[in-house]
Amino acid sequence: MMSVDASAIVKVSEVSLRYPNGTEALNGVSLDVPKGELVTLLGPSGCGKTSLLKIIAGLLQPSSGEIRINDRISRAPGPDRALVFQDFALMPWATVLRNVAFGLELRGLSRASRQAEAKRYIAEVGLAGSEYKYPHELSGGMRQRAGLARALAVNAEVLMMDEPFSAVDEQMRRKLQEDLLDLLRRERKTVIFVTHSIEEAVYLSDRIVLLSRNPGRVMRVVKPGFRRDTNESDIRRDPRYQDIIDDIWTSLKGYLN
C-alpha cells in the first residue's frame, strides 16, 4: 500500500473492483490527490482508469476499499466533485448558456444569479459570444469548452476529466491543453485526469499515476516537475520532456503485447 498524504483532498485506499462476470478490473489501488494538483491516471487499455475515475466520482461502487474526499468517506456523487465527459454530454436542445447554468439551476440559484455565473465561466473558457448557440452549432473544441465551463460553474473542489480532448484534432487538442493549464492557474482547482496519451500526461500533470492491467494496480507515480508559471510551450522544449515520455513508455510497453 502506498503511503498516505494527510494533506490530500482525495484519498483512494486499497480499492478493488470485481464485476459480476468475475472480471477483476482493479486490485488494491491506493493513491493520494493533493489539493491544487493535476493528477493523471495513465495506463494501457483495460487497466481500469475510467472505472477508478467513476469510483472516485461516486458513480460506481468498489468491491472493497474506500474513497475519502476531504477526509470524509464518499460513496455517492456530491457537489464537491464535477465530471467532464469525453463525449461533451451537452443537452442538444439547450443553449450553451442553459447547459452551463444547468447545475446551478439544480442547486436552486435564481435565474439572474445562475445566468451571471454561467456567463462568467463561458467567458473564462473562451466562448464569450456563443451563449445562445446550440451544441450542433459548435465545433468539437467549442463543445468541449462548454462542457468544461459547466463543470467549473458548479464550483466543485475536484474536477474529473475523462479523456476530455480525445474527440478533437491534434491542433485543437494542443490549444485546449494550453487553455486548461492557463485556466487552472486562475481557478486553482484540483484535477483528476484520464488519458491514453503519454505526451498529454507529461505536458499537463503535476503527477502521473501509472496503472498496470489484468487487474489494474499502481505501478509507480511519476512527477514531471515542470514549472507552471512559465510559457506553456517551454514544457515541450525542455530536454526532460522527451526523457520522461521515454521513461514512461518503457514502463508501459510490456503491457501492450
pLDDT tens digits, residue range 13-43?
Answer: 999 999 999 889 999 999 999 999 999 999 9
Q: Is residue 71 part of a domain?
A: yes
pLDDT of residue 176: 86
Compute φ and ψ for 15, nearest 5 degrees: -85, 125
Cβ contact 65:29 at 8 Å? yes
Q: Report how many domains make up the chain.
A: 1
> For position 32, what pLDDT does the model report?
95
Q: What is the pLDDT of residues 174-216, one digit of tens each?
A: 888 888 888 888 888 899 999 999 999 999 999 999 999 889 9
**2 has a pLDDT exceeding 50:** no
* Region 72-101 average pLDDT: 88
The cell for 75 is 460513496
Residue 174 in domain = no
pLDDT in tens, 101-145: 988 887 878 889 989 999 999 998 889 999 999 999 998 889 988
Whether 165 maps to a domain, the answer reads no
Q: Does 167 fall in a domain?
A: no
- State the Cα–Cα distance between residues 235 and 206, nearest whole angstrom: 12
Residues contacting residue 247 through CB under 8 Å, at least 6 positions apart: 222
3 domain residue, yes or no:
yes
- CB of 193 within 8 A of CB of 161? yes
Strand bridging mode 64-69 / 38-42: unpaired
Cell triple for residue 118? 454561467
Structural domain range at position 239? 1-76+192-257
Can you tell me the distance from the alpha carbon of 206 to that of 187, in angstroms, rounded to the nearest whole number?
16
| Cell 511519476 found at | 222
Query: Does residue 148 lie in a domain region?
Result: no
In a domain, 136, yes or no: no
What CATH number is attached to the domain comprising 217?
3.40.50.300
- Residue 223 within a domain: yes
DSSP string for 108-140: T--HHHHHHHHHHHHHHTT-TT-TT--GGGS-H
